């Protein structure tokens, strides 16, 4: 999120301020929309990271099936119970979700869009 806000062109914020827009309105109408793609990419990457969390979840939330059980804990329990089919299916679901999230996060970043479209910046 910080990098996304640092990439916002400050001249646009200054122009809005010169036109009499309040600081809160500048944030919500100029800065936030311009930084939204970077913020969404960060949220998606944080979600993908949290998807594989195991130790802290087990220690803090415990493991109550149906209430505090996460995907990674369900995989662990399936392996411990000898249910390899269920464990493999859960690993496949987790892997597919993470790959989709990483592709979407890459697409949301400005460099990712530029690489796929074949255009280069004029810097």
Between 99 and 54, the more confident residue is 99
Band the pLDDT of 123: cuts 50, 70, 90: very low
Band the pLDDT of 10: cuts 50, 70, 90: very high
The structure tokens listed for 12 are 């646009």
pLDDT given for residue 19 in this prediction: 95
Q: What is the rounded distance in angstroms from the CA atom of residue 39 to the CA atom of residue 60?
A: 27
Residue 30 has pLDDT above 70, yes or no: yes
pLDDT given for residue 117 in this prediction: 52
Residue 120 has pLDDT above 70, yes or no: no
pLDDT given for residue 111 in this prediction: 64
Mean model confidence pLDDT for the chain: 83
């Amino acid at each position: 999120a910080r990098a996304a806000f640092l990439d916002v062109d400050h001249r646009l914020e200054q122009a809005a301020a010169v036109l009499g827009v309040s600081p809160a309105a500048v944030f919500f109408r100029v800065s936030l929309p311009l930084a939204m793609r970077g913020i969404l990419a960060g949220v998606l990457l944080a979600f993908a990271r949290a998807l594989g969390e195991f130790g802290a979840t087990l220690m803090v939330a415990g493991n109550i099936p149906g209430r505090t059980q996460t995907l990674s804990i369900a995989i662990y329990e399936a392996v411990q119970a000898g249910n390899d089919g269920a464990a493999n299916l859960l690993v496949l679901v987790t892997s597919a979700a993470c790959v989709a999230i990483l592709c979407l996060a890459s697409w949301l970043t400005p460099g990712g869009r530029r690489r796929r479209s074949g255009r280069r910046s004029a810097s």
